Structure 1
Amino acid sequence: MIDMKQIFLITDIPGYSPQISRLLSMMNYARFTTIEEVKDLTVQELDFLMDSKSNSIGALLLHFAAVEYAYQVGTFEKRGLNEEETAIWGPALSLGEEGRNKIKGNELSYYTDQLQTVRQRTYELFKTVTDEWLYTEEEFWAQQQANYYFMWFHVFEDEINHRGQIRMIRKRMDI
C-alpha cells in the first residue's frame, strides 16, 4: 500500500476519503522510516538490551503492531482486547519484563510480517469509514475526551517516539 513515488506527499489515496488519505499518508511515511532504520538488523541486534530495564528493538517493533491492532479493535469494534488477543499482544503492549522475557529470538521478517499484516487490516478498515468517523469522540485513557483522529494520530506518533529509542539503541550496541 505504500506508494514510494508519493512517500513524501501527504495527499489523497485512491479508495479513501481525503482526511483518512492524509492520515494514512503520514502513517505510511512513519512506517517507511521505521523499516529503513531496522532493515539490516540480525536476531542478535533485534534482541539487544542496553540494560535490565530496557526494551529490545524487536519488542518495540512488535509494540508498533500491537498498538495499531489495539486501536483497530477499540475504534472499529468498540471493545478492548479479549483474552486470546491479550495473550498474543499483551507482552508487546506492556513491554517491560514480560516483553523482555517473551519477545526474542525472531528474525526481522517476523516483525515486518506482523507490521504488514496489521497495517493491511488498517487499510481495509479505513475503507469502510468516511472523514466524519474521524471526529467520533470517546473517553480516552479514562480521563479525557478524544476523537478517533487523535487516537489514530497517536498510533503513528507512538511509533515515531519509539523509533527514537531504536536509533538510540542502535548507537549503543556493542555487538
Structure 2
Amino acid sequence: MLDMDKLLLITDHSGYTPQISRLLSMMNYARFTTLEAVSDLSVEQLDFLLVAQSNSIGALLLHFAAVEYAYQIATFEQRDLNDEEMAVWGPALMLGEEGREKIKGNPLDYYLEKLETVRNRTFELFKTVNDEWLYREEEFWYNKQANYYFMWFHVFEDEINHRGQIRMISKRMKST
C-alpha cells in the first residue's frame, strides 16, 4: 500500500476510514524512510555492532516487525503473545543479549520480507475496523489509559526512534 504518489500526503486511502487512512499515511512515510536508510546493506553491515552490548541494524529491523506484530495481537485480538509467538518474536521484541545471539547472518531481503508480511497484515486488519475503534481505551503503560490510536502511533514512533539509531550506526560503520 505504499503509494509513492501520495507518500507526502496525510490523506484518505481507499478501503479505510479517514482517521485510519491518516494513521496509515504516517506509517507509510516512516517505513519509506526506514527502507531508504537500509537500502543495499550487506549481511556484515546488518550485523555490525558499535559496541558489544548494542543492537545491530538487522535486529532493529526485525524489532520493527515484532513490535507491529505484537500490537496487532494486542489491539485486534486483545491478548498477549503466546509462547509460540514469543519463541518467534521475543528476541526481536526484547533485543539485548538474546537478540544479539539469534538475530544475525540474514541478508537484507530477509528483514524486508518480515517487515512487508507484517505490514500487509496490518493493512488487512485495519480494513476490518473504523475510526471509532481507534478511540477504544484500555490500561496501558504506567497504569494509564491509552487508546488504540496512541498504541498505533507508538508502533511507528518506535520505528522512527530506532531509525535514528540505524542512521547513526551506518555513519559510524563508514567512519571505521
TM-score tier after normalising by the smaller chain length = over 0.9
Q: Secondary structure at the match of 1:152?
A: helix
2:27: which partner in 1? 27
Partner of 1:144: 144
Q: CA deviation at 1:143?
A: 1.5
Once the two structures are superposed, residues 5-60 of structure 1 have per-residue CA deviations (whole angstroms, 9 ceiling, x without a partner) of 11000000000000000000000000000000001100000000000110000000
Question: Which residue is equivalent to 1:44?
Answer: 44
How far apart, CA to CA, are the structure 1 residues paired with 2:155 and 2:163? 12
Identity %: 75
Aligned to 1:129: 129
2:92 maps to 92
Q: Could you tell me how far 1:142 is from its partner in structure 2?
A: 5.2
Residue 173 of structure 1 is matched in structure 2 by 173
> Which residue identity does 1:105 align to in structure 2?
G
TM-score (norm 1): 0.98
Which position in structure 2 is the counterpart of 1:8?
8
Please give the alpha-carbon distance, in whole angstroms, between the structure 2 residues aligned to 1:98 and 1:16.
38
Deviations 1:82-110 (A, max 9, x none): 01000000000000111000000000000
Shift of residue 141 of structure 1? 2.4
TM-score (norm 2): 0.98
Aligned pair count reads: 175
* Structure 1: distance between partners of 2:79 and 2:91: 19
Structure 2 counterpart of 1:132, which letter?
Answer: E
Corresponding residue for 1:118? Answer: 118
* CA RMSD of superposed structures (Å): 0.8
1:84 and 1:110 mapped to 2: Cα distance?
20
Unaligned stretches of 5+ residues in structure 1:
none
Provide the rounded CA distance (Å) in 2 between the counterparts of 1:21 and 1:38: 26
Q: Distance in 2 between matches of 1:163 and 1:143?
A: 28
Gaps of at least 5 residues in structure 2 are: none
